[in-house]
Chains A and B, each alone.
Chain A
């Protein structure tokens, strides 16, 4: 069963606009973590933001914020004032237990293109 769902395969957004990338997840574990990573065309995987399941407040990192709605099991990424350099693939990932440790489960990604 798909555990991380990103429903937007691709998005076009005008420069300077805010953009919301959707992510829903499925887990029965009360302790989990949610991550967003950015992958530009050059290929590297860049960590953006993290939200723990017990965190009371939504995570923020500069222009990135995570709209965490626990009851709905959603963890949408919001990028304010988008820039041309934000064009990239964006992956939502969830950390879940594997054996005695943890692994990352990934969504299929959203390709974001910022238009000038």
Chain B
């Protein structure tokens, strides 16, 4: 079965640079979630989109923005990167925003030097 696809899988950036992470949800899933997981920590919810509109916002810094496109893929844009942004960034998708299970992608591992 098709899973959530994230690209790139690994990314190295320097401080103050920008990064764009991409997420392709499971086919027919209309909701995308972004999470940030620091080393040794549990995932922290950043933001979610339902039917191409932002549905909820968590602890996403103002330097980050995201959107969901007409084909339901989503991009997380990160600017003025800081060392503390180094983390594993997960995208998850579900069908609807109610009781449905979120299925996670493999993650993008971002290292900011």
Chain A: residues with CB nearer than 8 A to chain B? 33, 35, 37, 42-47, 50, 52, 91, 95, 98-104, 106-109
B50 CB–A CB distance under 8 Å: yes
The answer on a CB contact under 8 Å between B99 and A103 is no
Of the listed residues B33, B58, B90, B101, the one surrounded by the most CB atoms of chain A closer than 10 A to its CB is B101
Chain A residues with CB under 8 Å of B48's CB are: 101, 103
Taking a contact as CB atoms under 8 Å apart, the answer to whether A44 and B106 are in contact is: yes
Residues of A within 8 A of B45 (CB): 103-104
- Verify A102–B107 contact, CB threshold 8 A: no
* Size of B's binding interface in residues, CB under 8 A: 25
Additional A-B contacts beyond A45-B92, A104-B45 (17; CB < 8 A): A43-B107, A43-B109, A47-B101, A47-B102, A91-B42, A91-B43, A95-B99, A98-B56, A99-B55, A99-B56, A100-B55, A101-B50, A101-B55, A101-B97, A104-B43, A106-B42, A109-B42
18 example contacts (A-B, Cβ-Cβ < 8 A) are as follows A43-B88, A43-B106, A45-B92, A45-B107, A47-B101, A47-B103, A47-B104, A52-B99, A95-B99, A98-B58, A99-B55, A100-B55, A101-B48, A101-B98, A102-B56, A103-B45, A103-B48, A106-B43
